[in-house]
Amino acid sequence: MRKKSFAAAMCCMVASILFGQRVYFGVVGGTNIIANFPTTDYSGPGDSFGNPAYRFQYFTGPRSLILGALVEGRLSESFSIEAEALRRPMPATIVFTQFPSGAPSVVSTDHFIAVDAWEFPVMLKYTLPALRFAGGVRPFLEAGPSFRSQENAAATQPSQFGISAGAGVAWQMGRFRIAPMLRYTRWDPESIYPKYATKPDQIELLTSFAYVTDAESRRLWGHRVELGAMAGYPLTRGFGPDFGQTVPERTRYLVGVTAQVNVSGNFSIETDAVYKPLRAGNSTLTQFSVITWEFPVLAKYSWTRFKLAPFTQAGPSFRAAGNLNGYNPSHYGFTAGGGVETRWHGFRLSPGLRYTRWATDASVYRLPPGVFYAQTNPNAVEFVFAVSF
């Protein structure tokens, strides 16, 4: 299910770029109007084995601060496809109280949890003609699938698929656009008792700030800049052995944006921002993720006299990580790779393979030399596919 959902999201995102030479890049921010979790309260009596009566209470936390990025490709004057990546923390509080016979009640557990979710809506947008009486404001409607993943293991496991619809208005000021909107999402039900289910109906108030580009406007120091999106699949494991045992891993993927500047002749510089979660766990092992962002800076040489032009690339890679879960991925590595590229209707299609050797991870804790600690795999081989223009 996850693999199919991710593939569908990537196909829609690439399609939005392929069909629109005018592309918006921007940021999205906002908050939820409906609480992330329902208030739940249930209890049970004591039993003959001496276990006391108990009470579980679940309370939703404060509203979420939703932040992310967007890319939108125009299909026509009225239709476009917008893909977003939104980080949405979902806080809650769990209180567990025991009632021993003949004694005061005891609050055994009273703690705050924060489920860090990522949402990936892919929206087909219809923009209406400008309202002349409102200074050229253009209303729009949107609808499409939404996908969701969870960074950290917690007392809840949000469902991964939903349907979103929304409406808003857009102000265009030169190359900049401001667009407040109201969006409703209906998420799949969550049948994961005894975990704490989220509310399936969500309404969000969002505002996007975007900048529109076309092929001729993208230049850096007189050199043409190509922008695009990339997706891929890691061919090697993300985690090293844990005390000699193989760590079970879930569906792996990577996705990001890419920029390339031609320097001279067949030489160019490519830099990417790649989201690559390292995902562990299965039905019997607690699921968790180590979130990584990779930033390779690659010198690239292309043989352009062929229709399918081979290329090679190499350079340093940098990495940031969050939601460590006992791991501490190293921050530096070296990447080399190659592939073929071709031009199609003004777009550059580039499938290829990459190998990265990362430096040795440091321990999350202060440990004496020679003591074992969990590490990620320093060797990474990935298949990547980029579309740019």
Tell me the pLDDT tens digit for each residue of 338-348. Answer: 999 998 877 78
Domain 22-36+64-89+116-213 belongs to what architecture?
Answer: Beta Barrel (2.40)
Q: What is the CATH number of domain 217-388?
A: 2.40.160.20
> What DSSP character marks residue 239?
B
Q: Are 246 and 213 in contact (CB under 8 A)?
A: no
For residue 202, the cross-strand partners are: 185
Q: Are 145 and 134 in contact (CB under 8 A)?
A: no
pLDDT in tens, 202-246: 999 999 999 887 655 555 556 677 888 899 999 999 998 876 678
Q: Which residue from 159, 61, 71 is spatially nearest to 122, judged by alpha carbons?
A: 71
pTM: 0.65
Hey, where are the domains in the chain? 22-36+64-89+116-213, 217-388
For residue 203, the cross-strand partners are: 184
For residue 234, the cross-strand partners are: 382
Report the distance separating Cα 245 and Cα 34, nearest Å: 43
Find the distance separating the first CA and the last CA of the chain, reported in whole Å. 31
Per-residue pLDDT tens, the chain, 389 aa: give them: 444 444 444 444 444 444 445 788 899 999 999 998 888 887 888 877 778 888 888 888 888 899 999 988 887 889 998 989 899 988 888 788 888 877 776 665 556 677 888 899 999 999 998 877 666 799 999 999 998 877 665 677 788 889 999 999 999 888 899 999 999 999 988 765 556 788 999 999 999 999 887 655 555 556 677 888 899 999 999 998 876 678 888 888 898 888 888 888 889 999 999 989 898 877 666 777 888 889 999 999 998 766 788 999 999 999 988 777 788 899 999 999 999 999 887 778 999 999 999 999 988 776 667 778 889 999 999 999 998 87
- CA distances (Å), origin 82, targets 102, 125, 169, 207: 61, 7, 15, 14
| Tokens 């499409």, residue located | 144
Report the distance separating Cα 353 and Cα 382, nearest Å: 6
